[in-house]
Structure 1
């Protein structure tokens, strides 16, 4: 089922959000920002970028943040993530490697912990039952995902995908991998060596982002066509699946401009979610009530990445060139910054659910 998700709510004045209190993070990267990731245990933000670095900021004592650490790579970095204990940060990217910085040990040098035959697009820490250690999973344009026990230099396991890995997310035992040609692979981490389920995206064009439900029973997916969908894993919930249009400009001269959805983030407390796109806007949604909670004005450039902090009180988003118009359209004047939006409960708290079984 497809609809203009949130259209009824958009007529009310309360749905328009305010950017006035959004704060810019100090000392941003020098090139496009590819990913944002918050520590699970503190207000520390990891940022990966096309300037070949992962930077780590402490936002605890000042809203504009302080840079506290960094990792250098040989080429653009496409992903970053934190370990569950908040002690380690991983970065991965186009040099085909993933590196780990162990902040808990006090060391300043990053160690290579993974390698692929093509650029690594995404990297996430995962808990695999009976592994006796936190593990890293990486997804690459070499059409594989690989699991890494950080105590060894060879992968613990590898799965071949149908196509290049474009996006990936994990929640509890649910791992979702989205590839080129619109394939989506679901892994149950109780049995991490194989796909539990494979499907094609309900959306008709290239996948850009996925984010698992807070309940770990499904996922949101967004594409370049200005459309998003939520998809449940179990067939018994299939009647709750839904796709909707968003990040589209109003009709002008019989033309609708459609923008790519670059980032989807799930609120860690309420399970509502955000979308952000090439149009430079971000929105908060309630999948169960099927409405938009808040929509925000354009921020002056494409939003390339987003993330909520661990308690959902800060929504971070990166304003930087997202390459949707190719190399020739980028220029030194294009904004390149990270913004922090202080979240108030009414913006993200779900409305009364209309979900029926």
Structure 2
């Protein structure tokens, strides 16, 4: 079954089944105690029931999370990171503070399931590994900054499912592809001059989808109801995402 989940700025999460003809059918609606900021996990739900089957107690409000079974990573307020092994889903495997100094905006698990990337509002990305034996491979780097030293949030990070390279997209309207092993940038997209709010590679990595619209990074005063909210599909060339030889 192909399933689509949607949350808006209320306390409800709506679930649809995507049928083979492309049509959708409503399947369920769940209610949280407060606004739902992301459609991944903070409670565990069985779509056949109306009640959660498990709950994880987080140290702070959940801002972002990602899952690549059995790895789940949650980023909360006050820079907390919670790593969960879904083989034991209600007990955090590790909890620690982000190595980045400012608020976490996004996390993305590696396809190899041995680590994850973190993006923050300070225009930085950190590469983290689960096992202590790989900690020497961790690093962070600056991105999504302009020549005037203006700093923009890293709104989303998406990993290519085959090559393990990844994209970053920010409030500056820029998208970039990166190779963490070679520690270098692979490609920059032309700036769209509007924040990128979400990104994703499809299952085989041949299509890269991204959405454009206001991300509230400058507050209510800069919100314009007439601004277009648009989803784009980009055909991915292998040379743009294939890893490079390390320098």
TM-score, structure 2 as length reference: 0.94
Measure the CA separation in 1 of the matches of 2:29 and 2:84.
Answer: 22
Residue among 4, 9, 18 paired with 1:103 = 18
Q: Report how far residue 292 of structure 1 moved.
A: 0.6
Q: Report how far residue 296 of structure 1 moved.
A: 2.1
**Structure 2 unmatched runs, 5+:** none
Measure the CA separation in 2 of the matches of 1:95 and 1:343.
Answer: 35
Residue among 158, 164, 188 paired with 1:265 = 158
Partner of 1:147: 44
Q: Report how far residue 102 of structure 1 moved.
A: 2.1
Measure the CA separation in 1 of the matches of 2:201 and 2:99.
Answer: 26
> Aligned with 1:157: secondary structure?
strand
> Aligned with 2:56: secondary structure?
strand
Partner of 2:38: 122
Indicate if the aligned counterparts of 2:16 and 2:28 stay in contact, CA closer than 8 A: no
**Structure 1 unmatched runs, 5+:** 1-84, 125-136, 138-144
Measure the CA separation in 1 of the matches of 2:20 and 2:31.
Answer: 23
Partner of 1:348: 241
User: Over residues 125-176 of structure 1, what are the superposed CA-to-partner deviations in whole Å (9 max), with x where a residue is unaligned?
Assistant: xxxxxxxxxxxx3xxxxxxx21011111111010111111000101120000
Partner of 2:67: 170
Measure the CA separation in 2 of the matches of 1:99 and 1:338.
Answer: 20
Partner of 2:198: 305
Measure the CA separation in 2 of the matches of 1:112 and 1:172.
Answer: 23
> Aligned with 2:191: secondary structure?
coil
Spell out the pairing of 1:56-205 with structure 2 (5 A cutoff): 85=1, 87-104=2-19, 109-124=25-40, 137=41, 145-205=42-102
User: Over residues 296-350 of structure 1, what are the superposed CA-to-partner deviations in whole Å (9 max), with x where a residue is unaligned?
Assistant: 2211211111111111111111121111111111224534222222110110000
Indicate if the aligned counterparts of 1:96 and 1:118 stay in contact, CA closer than 8 A: yes
Shift of the 285–108 alpha-carbon distance from structure 1 to 2, 3 Å rule, reads: closer
Partner of 1:317: 210
Indicate if the aligned counterparts of 1:113 and 1:150 stay in contact, CA closer than 8 A: no
User: Over residues 185-204 of structure 1, what are the superposed CA-to-partner deviations in whole Å (9 max), with x where a residue is unaligned?
Assistant: 00001100110000111111
Partner of 1:281: 174
> Aligned with 2:37: secondary structure?
strand
Q: Report how far residue 92 of structure 1 moved.
A: 2.3
Partner of 2:139: 242
Measure the CA separation in 2 of the matches of 1:286 and 1:207.
Answer: 21
> Aligned with 2:205: secondary structure?
coil
Q: Report how far residue 105 of structure 1 moved.
A: 9.3
The structure with the largest alpha-carbon Rg is 1
Indicate if the aligned counterparts of 2:194 and 2:212 stay in contact, CA closer than 8 A: yes
Measure the CA separation in 2 of the matches of 1:318 and 1:233.
Answer: 30
